[in-house]
Amino acid sequence: MTAPVKDRIDSLVGQHDVVLFMKGSPLFPQCGFSSRAIAILDHLGVGYESVDVLQDMEIRQAIKEYSDWPTIPQLYVKGEFVGGSDIMMEMFEAGELAQLMADKAVAKAG
């Protein structure tokens, strides 16, 4: 991973409370796992920034190394890696994801 791409990711996860690295866009997810992640975030009603890794090969490769996580989607909250779609679903069902958003004072979707 080159320094410029690491800086780009640092900046993305630093500037936005909630960032989802995904395949496709929230309106048109290109993978079932990304689609599930978006459904969870929409259900929680939090504001989020999405990054379509299919449109950015540099980030697509680098994010796996950055997070030490092999798959997309990947969720960051307040700069911290939370997990992929399976962990999001487990946490959502247990009420832990809503709690995390509340604990971190994440703003609701405007």
Residues within the interface to other proteins (CB under 8 A)? 32-33, 64, 68-72, 81-84, 86-87, 90-91
The answer to whether residues 33 and 72 touch, using CB atoms and an 8 Å cutoff, is yes
By residue count, the chain amounts to: 110
Return d(Cα 96, Cα 42) in angstroms, integer: 16
Amino acid at 37: A
Nearer to other proteins, 87 or 107 (CB): 87
Q: Closest distance between other proteins and the C-beta of residue 1, in Å?
A: 16
Nearer to other proteins, 8 or 69 (CB): 69
Q: Closest distance between other proteins and the C-beta of residue 83, in Å?
A: 5
